[in-house]
Structure formats: structure tokens, C-alpha cells
Chains A and B, each alone.
Chain A
């Protein structure tokens, strides 16, 4: 497991208060539309936490359903951001 994945998992867990459910997230786990905790306020708190922790910048059009569709998609997104940073 990459350290990015571990960090995204931990941020998701604390921001959405997933408790032990954060541990059971796999790449295919659906996020947006599937986790009731992921309301717009939580999305914004999560994006801010990702930006601050990874030193990345998220653009408006990246706040899309695709980015937050699954856990794997979100990890890939952060990794792609870090690759260009």
C-alpha cells in the first residue's frame, strides 16, 4: 500500500468520521453517492485537507463526481497531482 493511499485513507476517515470503516475501504469502494457522510460540506473539508496535507491545488472542474467516485479514483487523483507538483 502506498503512503499516499494510507494518508488519503486517514484523511477520509477523520473528515467523514468513518471510524473503522476507513480501514475496510478498498480501491473499488464507492464514495460519492454511496457514503451518506460525503455531503458538500464534507467534500469541501476533505478537499481542503488534501490540499493542505499534500501541498496540491484542486481546480473547480476536478471537484467532479469522477474524482470522488471510488477510493481508488481519489488516490489516483492525488497521485496524479503529486506527479505534476
Chain B
């Protein structure tokens, strides 16, 4: 079936089964592999995207359920002000280790700051609890979130790669 929604600011339409999870529409049909597959059951948060500004697990979100809504992924999140601050802080503090979970971490962190501009440690832990980091970069995730909340770094540190 044809599913219409807004993807990273652009109206878009995909002819895919309604029960296909948004994650796989993003990765396979929209050509946006930044959103990651981890568990397929909403248990690890690697697939987190924004649906009308809220963090959702795209691996358990049937694309047929999101008609008309706005989806933002890691590829475009830095175009928003909180997203830019979060991405800048993530670069500045060198948060990633293997890096596989970090798209999801950044999406959850940005959704948190959008709703709670100055989260305390408990609010950070509650918002980020669903995002598993197998390398355990949690010390820096907390620090980077606080840095982004405080205004953070508006520019990513210049690193070659």
C-alpha cells in the first residue's frame, strides 16, 4: 500500500506493506541506513527516530500506523537546534566507542532536550534507559547531554576521518 508521511522535512510516499516496520522502510526503501537494527523488539533503542518530535522505536512501529506524521532520522537531526547541540557535544566529548548505538542515543537525547531543556540526572537516566550501549559509553552520554543542555558546542570539533 502507499504510505505518505514527512521524512526529514520532505513529503514522501512509499509503496510498501502496511506492517513493514518504519526501520526497514528507512533502511531499505528510503536509503537512510543511519537508523540501526538491534533487537527488533523495542528493547535496545538502536532504531530510535522522532515521530512528530517524540522518540519512538522504529523497529516496532508499522509504517502503516504513521500516515501523515513527521519522521526525523539521524541523517537530519542536526538541522534542529537541540539536535545540533547534541551532535556537537557528542563530537566534542568523543562519546562513541564502536558507535553502533549512537544514532539511537542521539535521537533519544535530542527528544529529551526538546521537551526538557535542563534535565537533571534522574530525567537523563529515565529518558536514556531504553538505549542500550554495549560498549557502556554511559559516562560520556550523561556528560554530553549536560553539555548540550547548557548550550553545548554549536560546532562539531574538527576531526578528520
A binds B: no
Residues in chain A within 8 A of chain B (CB atoms): none
Residues in chain B within 8 A of chain A (CB atoms): none
